[in-house]
Amino acid sequence: MSAEVPTCASMAECRAHDGERVEVVGTYTVWDPMPDRPDGLDPPTQVIIAVEPDGAGPYLGAWGRPGHFRDLAEIASLDGRRVRVVGTFHADMPPHPTDPPEAASLGGPCLHPVESVRPA
């Protein structure tokens, strides 16, 4: 990666670059909002990049925007693997583009837009 793009492997390092283009190194981890998912429902397609030391990390893509729900082929090839992701880090996920300000939404840090995801 180019020297001008900071690399972060912890949330503290990422938060130091809020609003900036970064490379995040961590574990590609499917996040399921329904841990007791009933049979017959589509598999979860939301992903975080788990970083050290606690396994928390940014979502890939901002809620309600293209790229937040990840492709099943990408998930099958990368889930549980160390990856390098380039994108813009947001300490707080931007609100859903069509929701009024008082609407509830998915929150937390994210990378948006995501430029690339590749094995580390």
pTM: predicted TM-score of the whole model, two decimal places: 0.89
d(CA 9, CA 1): 14
pLDDT over 60 at 1, yes or no = no
Q: What is the pLDDT of residues 86-101, one digit of tens each?
A: 999 999 998 877 887 7
Is residue 63 within 8 A of residue 109, CB to CB? The reply is: no
Q: Dmax of the chain from CA atoms? A: 47
Give residue limits of the domains in the chain: 7-32+43-94+106-119
What pLDDT is attached to residue 3?
57
- Strongest mean pLDDT among 11-20, 37-46, 50-59: 11-20
What pLDDT is attached to residue 106?
74
| Fold of domain 7-32+43-94+106-119 | OB fold (Dihydrolipoamide Acetyltransferase, E2P) (2.40.50)
Pairwise pLDDT comparison (26 vs 66), residue with the higher score: 26
As a whole number, mean pLDDT of residues 29-33 equals: 93
Residue 23: how many other CB atoms lie within 10 Å: 20
Label residue 17 exposed, middle or buried (CB < 10 Å: 0-12, 13-18, 19+): middle
